[in-house]
Structure 1
């Protein structure tokens, strides 16, 4: 083993065994776990959002209400699967 790896190995082992490294690592793990738990809790909160429509925007009221129902179709369809010409960019085409 080269002298550089011997020194690096000793330095890493020395740092990893310190109390500050262990406490910092455990704190990071707890913070990340708490964040994941919070996001899961917030994600499972079921609720509805009410949107008010003024008289000027009454024309969009029906489409908005239809879009809010569970049976409504998604606003975007699947990307186009048509063969593309050579040398063109291979980006997906989304229909609205």
Structure 2
């Protein structure tokens, strides 16, 4: 959810609206204690935000490096091709 807020605020807001009743229901049915849910949310924010921000900043560079080097078979061709027409 935190990562979605960084990428797209509207989609992150929808995820937040979905996460709140879900978190409440986990406590309500006895699957988790309230501090379990809060700790999970905090951990998700503390990990998701920096990873998402780093991915936005360094993701393109990393993919370009992999395309030229050891990961070229996994990442694909550095040349972009035009999409085929549906005829």
Whether the TM-score (by the shorter chain) exceeds 0.5 is no
Tell me the TM-score range normalised by the shorter chain. Answer: 0.3 to 0.5
Ranked by relative contact order (alpha carbons within 8 Å, sequence separation 6 or more), the top structure is 2
Q: Which has the larger radius of gyration?
A: 1
